[in-house]
Structure 1
């Protein structure tokens, strides 16, 4: 299995909204805990260590890119 980066949702805005709503009213610590739990649940659902590693690498690259863009704007 390879990592799919295309949207698999018929209505991606609904998926985004569901995640945002799940965080509503939570403290920063509770929000971080929710994110961690969600990541672990979905990683288990995927069940493929290769795909998980690929997703981790992609997420890290995106964080670095976002940090670099933010520094350039300052």
Structure 2
């Protein structure tokens, strides 16, 4: 499986009238997740989120590709 870098966010059963709306919903939820946390707590939440999502994806080659792409932008 190759890493999908195209917009792919959706919510089952919910219709969006703009293509970017699911991404906006995700971003808002991510910001809410970090609200009122210290920098240390926020870093811990990010680390846990990465590990949870990596486990969900499960494909090491896809995860390596994602890490490479993420590092290129740093």
Q: Give TM-score, length-normalised by structure 1.
A: 0.82
CA RMSD of aligned residues (A): 0.7
Structure 2's unaligned 5+ residue stretches are 11-21
Structure with higher helix content: 1
Select the residue among 30, 36, 42 that pairs with 1:25.
36
Deviating beyond 2 angstroms after TM superposition, the runs of 4 or more aligned structure 1 residues are none
Residue matched to 2:6:
6
Q: Give TM-score, length-normalised by structure 2.
A: 0.82
